[in-house]
A and B are shown apart, each in its own frame.
Chain A
Amino acid sequence: MSAAASFARRATLLAGFVFLYAPIVILAAMSFNASRLVSVWGGFSTKWYAALLDNEQLLQSAKISLAAAFVSATIATLLGLLAAVALARFGGFRTRLLFFGAVHAPLVLPEVVLGLALLTCFVALGVGRGFVTLVIGHVTLTMCFTTVAILAALRDCDPTLEEAAMDLGATPPEAFLRVALPRIAPAIVTAFLLAFTLSLDDLVIASFATGPGATTLPMRIYSQVRLGVSPQINAISTLLLALVAVALGLAAAVSYWRGRRK
């Protein structure tokens, strides 16, 4: 490759990564700014982090968000696994097209529409809104993502291996659990993490589906952001970003280590 092309490639990469990372880095830097103003650097300070610890509402919301993300990601992963098995292994059963369409529809449906539909449904049924309806909303939102992730892995996994196990006397559930499941385990973990992050991050569905007493962290952040930029929001954002960075770093290290071992 010519020197000019190599230079152009490096410049493009640099520009791309600056665009992706500069806003996040600036946001994190501002959380250590003693001044309340964005444009003035008032010296290094951790006072906004200290203020977070006193913010009961915010901490409570963080707990609710984590709990909802854990429960809904677990249910969504299980339902997604079942749906993926049905779509990948059951052939062309009746109403397959309806099932396929309905499983994938929330992928392209605007969140406001799904949220509106869920809320009207809860109101029509006379269900009080709170943690349970929040979880229902998030499972419905994330199930399509878990199904797609697991379905892709299951399609790559040769069904003749399961057939061979059944020829050797395994029942269909046994064949699935002992042959296919270990092979799609990484995809199941990915699906769970995807559902977990989507739930933790969701503002729109939560705003429709939840009720008083179960305000999520994104809802709390959103209502404060609407009042203007606040260093406390930067502080909690930085903590969340750090959490994701550590998790991604661990995942990268694990895959690197596994790659080396092979």
Chain B
Amino acid sequence: MSARRRLSLGQRLVIAAPYLWIAAFFLAPMLLVAKISVSQSVLARPPYRPIFQFSDSLAELWAKALDFTLDSYRALVSDTLYLESYLSSLTIAAVATLITLIVAFPFALAMARAPERLRPILIGLAVAPFWTSFLIRVYAWIALLKDEGLINNALMAVGLISAPLQMYATPGAVVVGIVYSYLPFMLLPIYAALERQDESLREAAADLGASPAQVFLRVTLPLSRESVIAGSLLVFIPAVGEFVIPDLLGGSETLMIGRTLWNDFFSNHDWPAASAAAIALVALLMVPLLLWERARLKEEGGR
């Protein structure tokens, strides 16, 4: 990192607006959530105690800052609803990420190997749905997956099944929703990596006697490793905290932490519990990110 220096007045003016905005509407609220997560839950509005006020003296502020409880965090560990929500979120997100990868890789490969003049059109078509409403794309799957929906009707019409399969309101439906909604995040990095790959590397491998399968496994796949990791993180991280997809497709039985948190906040009005769950969720997501960042730095340092 370059030497730290003081900014000129003009530079300070440039940075002031975004800095103040982030401090006021992101950093301060996050600190407040951290504070509420160690506060007592009470039946009032706002439903937690103690509350800081501008009129507080320094001594009062200090006393309030010291008045904290770890009850909400204890509840996170002892309440099976939370543990199950976290585990189920991680499982659903992991399964969905894997399936997204399995769907996206051949798709990206087919696009990267298409004639060059077609590639911009193909990638444009593949990303276009991303610009349309997420909510609408998830909603579209309800009509497909329901008991009297189109997939069940089609399967029954051809005689493959005699009674409708239950697909809607299951964890499987949530996985389908995640794969569908987040496909572009996996597709784009993998396509970019595959498109950049030098064709002569594959030709060289083939000339040296590698079969097409060997060329794929020993040249194409290892060279796209980074993009697979990046795409997987881009799908996995938002999927863990997802609210809309489990709420619309998962039914009441499918637990996911984003939804548990929402219910705690809006239905149960337990702000300390919801805040503790939010802080724990952030900590949970930081782990894969930090591991990735460390691996990346190590690799860069090794070069």
- B265-299 to A contact mask, C-beta < 8 Å, 1/0: 10000010011001001100100010000000000
- B109-137 to A contact mask, C-beta < 8 Å, 1/0: 11101100000001011101101111111
B180 within 8 A of A: yes
Stretch at the interface among B63-71, B73-81, B223-231, B234-242: B234-242
Contact between B136 and A237, CB atoms less than 8 A apart: yes
- A129-151 to B contact mask, C-beta < 8 Å, 1/0: 00000001101100100010000
* Minimum CB–CB distance for B163 against chain A, Å: 15
* Minimum CB–CB distance for A22 against chain B, Å: 8
Taking CB atoms and an 8 Å cut-off, the chain A residues in 22-39 that contact chain B are 23-24, 26-27, 30, 37-39
Looking at chain A's contact residues, the main secondary structure is helix
B61 within 8 A of A: no
Residues of B within 8 A of A90 (CB): 7, 11, 14-15
A262 within 8 A of B: no
A99 within 8 A of B: yes
Instruction: Report Cα–Cα, A237/B7, bound state, in Å.
Output: 49
The size of the chain B interface, using a CB distance under 8 A, is 86
Looking at chain B's contact residues, the main secondary structure is helix
**How many pairs, one residue from A and one from B, have CB atoms within 8 Å of each other in the complex?**
232
Residues of B within 8 A of A99 (CB): 15, 19, 22
Contact between A79 and B17, CB atoms less than 8 A apart: yes
Residues of A within 8 A of B137 (CB): 23-24
Residues of B within 8 A of A91 (CB): 2, 5
Contact between A20 and B183, CB atoms less than 8 A apart: yes
Decide yes or no: A116 and B143 within 8 Å by CB, A20-B129, A111-B241, A136-B25 being known contacts: no
Closest to A238 in B: B136
Decide yes or no: A9 and B113 within 8 Å by CB, A117-B30, A203-B244 being known contacts: yes
Contact between A120 and B33, CB atoms less than 8 A apart: yes
Interchain residue pairs with CB less than 8 A apart (17): A10-B110, A13-B110, A24-B137, A27-B136, A27-B140, A102-B22, A109-B282, A117-B33, A117-B278, A121-B28, A137-B25, A204-B243, A221-B139, A225-B135, A226-B247, A244-B131, A248-B128
B residues engaging A (CB < 8 A)?
1-7, 10-11, 14-15, 17-19, 21-23, 25-30, 32-33, 36, 45-46, 51-52, 103, 106-107, 109-111, 113-114, 122, 124-126, 128-129, 131-137, 139-144, 146, 148-150, 153, 180, 183, 212, 237-238, 240-244, 247-248, 258, 261-262, 265, 271, 274-275, 278, 281-282, 285, 289
